[in-house]
A and B are shown apart, each in its own frame.
Chain A
């Protein structure tokens, strides 16, 4: 195992674990009925939503090679499928992969 890759993995895991561990430590005195808990709950949902939007609109990795139009088309169509299928998670997820693979051929 080369040193640079090994160190990069260690640094990545340290940066990730620190947020998790600090969260576990600082949540010790927080009650689930408190206002602070409700605020953190809102922060968590909002941060996740921001991450999802960023992943789709400003992606990194292989998805950045797909056109903006194809990504938006897949998202809107899959949300439509989600509501039509009475909030089933599986159909839109499977369809998104097939649709993205096909659309990236043409757009």
Chain B
């Protein structure tokens, strides 16, 4: 089963002074308020955050519902914006694989893959013994997931008191926090190049195809960064 010591160690990482709890919570407050304004009830809002647990995907769903998009359109739009979770999972799970751990832990905990939890794990995994990293990860995931659900709950009931300017303030928190975390993670030439190229190419590809811009920007920028890093090592 799950090692309690490492689970709670991971869970408590959300309380660190530089943890994403504040940014994550505030953004889900904005999501909660947005869902209420769209006509969701409290059960639907909480259900949405619990099952999706990805900010851009929730936003795209909300926007799609607003314009009356079909279920297939919603699926494709959300898939395009959340396909980033695939390389995030592939670049995280090998760090946690251990033959003594059951497979169900990995399949169950993949639901926690999100930018905030991923960045916390990436900056902390070296301090945890490989055997227990999956328990530590489940702790981080449960903490960030709980924060998101609580944020949605607060946002739903606080929506009547939030004006448009306050909603804008809440909405900018997450990208700024993630931008700072990404800049903070630029410690090798590969990561530095990957981040800079992603920031430049993402918006450029938007002019070619808004749906594919994130994936194309990431694929082209990440591949160039990989080869630059390999050339530098050689």
Contacts and interface: CB of A to CB of B under 8 A. Distances in A.
Interface of A: 1, 4-28, 30-32, 35, 37-63, 65-66, 71, 74-75, 78-79, 82, 87-90, 92-94, 96-102, 104-105
6 contacts: A15-B57, A19-B85, A44-B222, A45-B182, A62-B171, A92-B180
Cβ-closest 3 pairs across A and B = A23-B89, A47-B218, A50-B202
B140 interface: no
B142 to A, nearest CB: 15
Given A50-B213, A51-B214, A23 B223 contact: no
A68 to B, nearest CB: 12
Given A45-B191, A62-B30, A62-B34, A52 B178 contact: yes
Contacts of B48: 9, 12-13
Interface stretch (B2-10, B108-116, B146-154): B108-116
A45 B199 CA distance: 10
A1 B47 CA distance: 11
Interface string B24-66: 0010001000100001110110011001111011111111110
Interface of B: 17-18, 20, 22-23, 26, 30, 34, 39-41, 43-44, 47-48, 51-54, 56-65, 71, 74-76, 78-79, 81-95, 97, 106-107, 110-111, 113, 115, 118, 164-185, 190-191, 193-203, 205-206, 210, 213-215, 217-219, 221-223, 225-226, 229-230
Contacts of B110: 17, 20-21, 23-24
Contacts of B94: 27, 30-32, 37
A31 B20 CA distance: 29
B88 A23 contact: yes
Nearest to B220: A46
A74 B61 contact: no
A20 B222 contact: no
A89 B184 contact: yes
Contact of A8 (B61, B76, B218, B229): B61
Contacts of B223: 39, 42-43
A10 B78 CA distance: 12
A105 B108 CA distance: 44
A42 B225 contact: yes
Contact of B218 (A12, A14, A43, A101): A43
Contacts of B44: 1, 5-6, 9
Nearest to A71: B172
A43 B87 contact: yes
B107 A24 contact: yes
Contacts of A32: 94-95
Nearest to B172: A100
Contact of B78 (A11, A58, A61): A11
A54 to B, nearest CB: 5
A55 B198 contact: no
Given A24-B89, A40-B91, A53-B198, 12 more contacts: A9-B44, A13-B51, A17-B111, A21-B107, A23-B86, A47-B215, A48-B178, A52-B199, A53-B203, A54-B206, A78-B179, A89-B18
